[in-house]
Structure 1
């Protein structure tokens, strides 16, 4: 009675085994063909090819190491700045001499953290997006379209988005007295450098020519941001910590987070491949990088705009907003899954990340509305 059933399952497993064997043979075929070709070549050709393969293996080993080691990554990085101990707003006279020209002013926490964020990505780490092997992809396929080796690049681009937005706001409003002062040239250079293409290497093939690598340009922006803070500390520059400037800054950040939330929602609603969604990880880590960067920037803004926050009694709301940003940074899954929201096997990390972003953005808008009263 059981023989037909046993035979049926034997045929099924046999077919599965043959299918797996065909897939493995198809994958190994080019390598086996290359090894046979290599074995039939002369000594000189073998030496040249062997050296090339050795360099290629070493380059990929280095590339994999750079993508997997995240130097300086710490969700609680803002604690090291001790911003809650600052007694003066950014640009405020701290020299203590009455009825005298200021000789020392409070530097900006926003500028300091913005500079340190990009320093972490181009000096403490390799900038992944402009590495040649990242640009080549996996057999011509963009790494962002695969589930491997793109998480760090996406995180860096998310952090970079926060610094780009911050430098724009510094130039347009925060570092100038509206109507009575011009644009700060040092910050203007920093903003221009932060808009530079994220994937540039020494050589470009479209169009063909030589270019400055992305990380070199971003390093210049780090220098310029630090230079502005030095000038501010000497009272040679201004930081206009007015309530309307803060309100405008929060508006821009809320718009940024709204765009990211829409990106996550689109992917979550239209693609439900679970662990097999190869684009879910780069969206997740881009959003994570944004939250990581804005957590530091907004913590610094609390210190830089201290008088405004105290005057409007915003401290409780501001602290709650920062708690929401920090809570979102607790989500660090080893494998990103984009499952159905009502699924019971595969989780939906994109929807979870989107929920945290909307919650943080809701608190941000609440702070903004209080400022607008």
Structure 2
């Protein structure tokens, strides 16, 4: 009886071994064929193919390195904007940061200061963080080619940084739109600032453009080049603002509209997280959960710096309307949301005990931030 049991397990393990051997042989067969074919070629062809192979290996090595290395990522970076900018005397031109409440007029010298806008500065810094301090992943050739033709966003690999950068870019785009439409104009009726308009146009450019494209066919200017141009435009505007040659209209109604737009933007992201969390419960095996998570995380990361900077630019309005405590709570909730940094993103059932629901967790903080923004808006609207 014992011999029969031993014989059974021996044959079973031998069968498994033969099956694994056949599977490995099947996988390696194309490489063995390529190796034989390569050895039969001439020297010149071998050198050319060898160089191409080394180049491909180098490209993938660089791609893997850039997608995994996050340069200057700092969840406390917004502390640099937690100050009120130094006020300089106003110039007769009537430009600069227009402060005070709704009754402030661009010609009133007492209602103006000439200093740089921290919102504009934070926006430029975030663009610099995305495309200069780090490589812009979404427009890299290997990212566009995907994994054997499969979009990287549909895999659990090498897409987290790209999603994070796109989330930061969403906050940047929203801010530049408001800078052009309201914040960079006097009561929204003056001429649109050329530098802000140029920056907005550059930052609205497609996020995935490489040096060459098929539609339309031909060479192209890659995405990072447009974003770098936007940095120059934003900083040029701030230079002019410091010289009282431009306007940043820091009135209560402009802050209300700015907060309202951000709340709507974050609300849309909350809906994306909720939809994925409710309809897909793949746990650690949901390959789209990570890009949803890191997009929302990047958006909060961007707004953390921008809203902290807005506190300095709208210092008078926040103090006069009694918003200090509410703004403290807003910054605290934004900072708390950035503490969620799981090694592997899991989209399990919210009531599950084995696989957590990181999307639901981050979604909770997104809603807390949006709730703070809505409360600030209600106070400003009184």
Calculate the TM-score normalised by the size of structure 1: 0.91
Q: Distance in 2 between matches of 1:302 and 1:16?
A: 66
Deviation at 1:333, TM superposition (A): 1.2
2:198 aligns with 189
Residues 16, 244 of structure 1: CA spacing in aligned structure 2 closer, same or farther, 3 A cutoff?
A: farther
Q: Deviations over 1:159-199 (max 9, x none)?
A: 01111000000000011112541111110111111100101
Contact 1:268 1:338 in 2 (8 A): yes
Contact 1:274–1:348 (8 Å) recurs in 2? yes
Aligned match of 1:96: none
Corresponding position: 1:33 with 2:8: no
For 1:318, which of 323, 327, 334 is the aligned residue? 327
User: Contact 1:268/1:350 (CA < 8 Å) preserved in 2?
Assistant: yes
Structure 2 Cα separation of the partners of residues 358 and 309 of structure 1:
22
Which of 167, 177, 186 pairs up with 1:158? 167
**Kindly tell me: are residues 59 and 100 of structure 1, through their superposed partners in 2, closer, same or farther at Cα, counting changes over 3 Å?**
same
CA distance, structure 2, for counterparts of residue 20 and residue 323 of structure 1: 54
- Cα shift at 1:28: 2.8
Q: Counterparts of 1:322 and 1:103 in 2: how far apart (Å)? A: 27
Could you say what secondary structure the match of 2:97 adopts?
Answer: coil
Partner of 1:239: helix, strand, or coil? Answer: strand
Q: For this pair of structures, how many residues does the alignment match?
A: 367
Deviation at 1:27, TM superposition (A): 3.4
Q: Which runs of 5+ in 1 are unaligned?
A: 94-98
Tell me if 1:286 matches 2:285. Answer: no
Aligned equivalent of 2:55: 55
What is the rounded CA distance, in whole Å, between the counterparts of 2:10 and 2:112 in structure 1? 87
Residue 91 of structure 1 is aligned with which of 91, 97, 111?
97
Structure 1 residue 364: Cα displacement: 1.2
Alignment of 1:154-233 (within 5 A): 154-178=163-187, 180-233=189-242
* Equivalences for residues 242-321 of structure 1 within 5 A: 242-321=251-330
CA 1:11–1:160: 2 relative to 1, 3 Å: farther
Shift in Å, 1:86: 3.4
Please give the alpha-carbon distance, in whole angstroms, between the structure 2 residues aligned to 1:175 and 1:128.
31
Task: Determine the structure 1 residue equivalent to 2:91.
Answer: none
Shift of 1:205: 1.2
CA deviation map 1:30-50 (0-9, x unaligned) = 223222222232322222211
Whether the 8 Å contact between 1:103 and 1:235 is mirrored in structure 2 is no
> What do the CA deviations read for 1:192-229 (whole angstroms, capped 9, x no partner)?
11100101111111221221110011011000000111
Shift in CA distance, 116/36, structure 1 to aligned 2, threshold 3 Å:
same
Answer yes or no: is the 8 Å Cα contact 1:150–1:282 preserved in 2. yes
* Matched residue, 2:149: 140
Cα distance in structure 2, aligned partners of 1:270 and 1:9 = 43
Partner Cα separation in structure 2 for residue 4 and residue 364 of structure 1: 73
CA, structure 1 residues 256+7, in 2 after alignment: closer, same or farther (shift >3 Å)?
Answer: farther
Residues 48-87 of structure 1, C-alpha deviations (whole Å, 9 max, x = no match): 2111111111111111111111111101001133x32436
Report the secondary structure of 1:313's partner residue. coil
Matched residue of 2:218: which SS? strand
Maintained 8 Å contact 1:92/1:106: no
Unaligned runs of 5+ in 2: 89-95, 100-107
Residue 370 to residue 25, structure 1, CA distance change in 2 (3 Å) = farther
Q: Secondary structure of 1:365's partner?
A: helix
Q: Contact 2:263–2:373 (CA<8 Å) still a contact in 1?
A: yes
Is the contact made by 1:102 and 1:235 (CA closer than 8 Å) also made in structure 2? no
Is 1:250–1:368's contact at 8 Å kept on the other side of the alignment?
Answer: yes
Report the Cα distance in structure 2 between the residues aligned to 1:254 and 1:8, rounded to whole angstroms: 66
